[in-house]
Chain A
């Protein structure tokens, strides 16, 4: 891996962390799915896995939640995105189909937290699901909208940046 590409990957990680912090005031409204979708399609599954690992570590560090109950489900939830995009959702090419995929992955992301909360914290399954419904819906809808509108233009920009980095 070239130094220039490492710099690009670190920049992409920084963007991921920064947008999360900027949008933290809005509950579950984020562009993380959009960016991870873009990174997976542009830099590939393997490199996106590294970006996600650093992102999750930094995010937990910033929010003082670097414990197993948050770190592990968050890591699993986000890693499912590039792994599923590289396998079962690989045939999905159009922006609209990717936007619908983001709804499915938003729900799996929320479920990964539910498993940890129910097992470790002994919160009742029913109470957790009911309390989490609005936040899961917000996550799914914000992911859907951000991908539907921003995936194509951002793909062109980031792809151009990445291509010039690895070719020059």
Chain B
């Protein structure tokens, strides 16, 4: 009986930890302001856009990369994934939008990618399977 109670208590604690971790993973702790350099490059390495945008992110009004992009470009997002910028669509089967932040490949999407003042973010229209990219 005692072992059963301990098992239940530990399980509830583990579940609570899992919920906490899930919430932590979802948050974007970006409370800062500044400017980001956005560069959009098509499949032939031509620059489609090269702009610097100011942003001011607060706890009540957090700014994500998604916010900045949708404010300044015509973007298409499907299931949380960026598929189109200014009419250039990636079907994610043959092509996708690879994101580089300060010349390092981003490991998050436009809703969760952390950035700060002065960062350079490149969106490169990339063939699937092209793991080496000379965008930077």
Q: List residues of chain A with CB under 8 Å of any chain B CB.
A: 27, 29, 64, 67, 69, 117, 120-124, 127-128, 131, 134-135, 137-138, 141-142, 144-145, 148-149
Contacts and interface: CB of A to CB of B under 8 A. Distances in A.
A92 B28 CA distance: 40
Contact of B15 (A121, A124, A145): A145
Interface of B: 7, 11, 14-15, 17-18, 21-22, 24-25, 92-93, 104-105, 107-108, 128-129, 131-132
Contacts of B128: 67
A138 B19 CA distance: 9
A134 B105 contact: no
Contacts of B25: 27, 134-135, 138
Contacts of B129: 67
A127 B21 CA distance: 18
Contacts of A117: 107
B92 A64 contact: yes
* For the complex of A and B, 7 pairs with smallest distance between CB atoms: A134-B25, A134-B21, A131-B107, A141-B18, A137-B21, A123-B105, A120-B131
Contact of A131 (B14, B17, B108): B108
28 contacts: A27-B22, A29-B18, A64-B92, A64-B93, A120-B131, A122-B104, A122-B131, A123-B105, A123-B107, A124-B104, A127-B104, A128-B107, A131-B107, A131-B108, A134-B21, A134-B22, A135-B25, A137-B17, A137-B21, A138-B22, A138-B25, A141-B18, A145-B14, A145-B15, A145-B18, A148-B7, A148-B11, A149-B11
